Structure formats: C-alpha cells, structure tokens
Amino acid sequence: MQEDNREITIIGFGGSLRKGSYNRMLLKDVQRLMPENSILEITDISKIPIYNEDADNENNINIVNFRESIKRADGFIIATPEYNYSIPGFLKNAIDSVSKPADKNPFAGKPGVIMSASMGMLGGSRAQYHLRQVLTCLDARLINRPEVFINFAPKKFDENGHLTDEMAVKFILELLNKLIQEIRLERSVQIKI
C-alpha cells in the first residue's frame, strides 16, 4: 500500500470562555502531545452569534470561518466542559450554527475525538455522552476509545499548563495515535482508488 506522509492538520475547539479554562489548557497541552507529522490548530468559537434560523448564517464571517476551518482540517478534537450534566450552550450553539444547511455540515464523515476536563469526580463524562449523540446526528466519525476524562482538573496541571496525570497522558496519546492512523489509512485508500 502506498504511504502518504503529508502533515496532518487537526482543528481543535471547545474550552470555555473564561480565562483560566482547564479545557483550553487541555487543548493547548494536546498541541504538545500531537503525534509526529501532525499539528493541532485551535480555533476560537467565542464570536459565533446565538443561532437564529432566520439570520443570514451562510454569510456570517464567524460561522463561515468556523465551518471552513473544520472542512479544511483532516480531523477535529473537541475539549468540553460539563455544564449541568451536559454540553455548554456556547459549544452546542457553535455546532448547531455550522450544521445547517445539511449539505454544508462540515462534520459529515470527518474523523474526530472528544475529551473533557471538569473540577468534579466524573471528569465531564455526561457532557461527552451528550456531545457524542450530537456528533452522531451530524455523521462525524468519532474514535470512541480510550475515553479521556480529566477529573479534579485543578490538581491535574502544573504551572506551565502541562498535564501531570500519567494515565491521562497515556490515554490521550493512544487516542491521538488512533485518530492519526485512521486519517492516514483513509488517505492510503484514496491513493489506491
């Protein structure tokens, strides 16, 4: 099978809007952990307006840029907080905003992974399962395991924002490698065809 070693670009988003967000810290640390020949670009979703189906969403620059950044990327990573056992409204809003019209849904067929950090014991697991449900509706190709839940987040990062939990780092590396492998496999199949 022919190898395709071109660099892989992953788009990352999520976090929360607050300055000290552990989920943003997690995304930034994942940039350091990306496998060889792959990069993670983090995109800002804070400027996406509250979705209104009557608005001219297809020409809103923040929505257009977000959609295009997902389309251009080979895959995506979402790091989400858990708000009241679910996905934070701003993240769901951003995803909804690019999901319509359906033929422009950038998640369709796109490989991706999700992770979460929370101050609580369950590490944001309930938000992740809701997010999986939403991304399944949008036909994203999620790599399901290992699941990455960073619980008790304030205790899991050092002063440089690096994860100190070895098990969490191990799971993240495993998940990232599976994502990159999936993308490389897909590319090699395309070359064959």
Stretch that binds ligand FMN, among 4-12, 15-23, 32-40, 130-138 (CB under 6 A): 15-23
Q: Check: CB of residue 86 under 8 Å from CB of residue 126.
A: yes
From 8, 10, 22, 180, residue interacting with ligand FMN (rule: CB under 6 A): 22
- Contact at 8 Å (CB) between 28 and 19? no
Does 119 participate in binding ligand FMN (rule CB under 6 A)?
yes
Judged by beta carbon, residue 120 or residue 161, the one nearer ligand FMN is: 120
Helix (H) or strand (E) holding 126, with range, is helix 125-137
Closest to ligand FMN by CB, 91 vs 180, is: 91
- Which one, of 102, 46, 113, lies nearest residue 79 by Cα? 113
- Kindly state whether residue 16 participates in binding ligand FMN, applying the rule CB under 6 A: yes
CB burial of 150-169 (b: ≥16 within 10 Å; e: otherwise) equals bbebeebbeeeeebebeebb
- For residues 104 and 67, is the Cβ–Cβ distance under 8 A? yes
Footprint (CB under 6 A) of ligand FMN, residues 36-95: 81-85
Q: Which of residues 150-179 bind ligand FMN (CB under 6 A)?
A: 153
Tell me if 138 contacts ligand FMN by CB under 6 A: no
Residues that bind ligand FMN (CB under 6 A): 15-16, 18, 21-23, 81-85, 117-120, 122, 124, 153
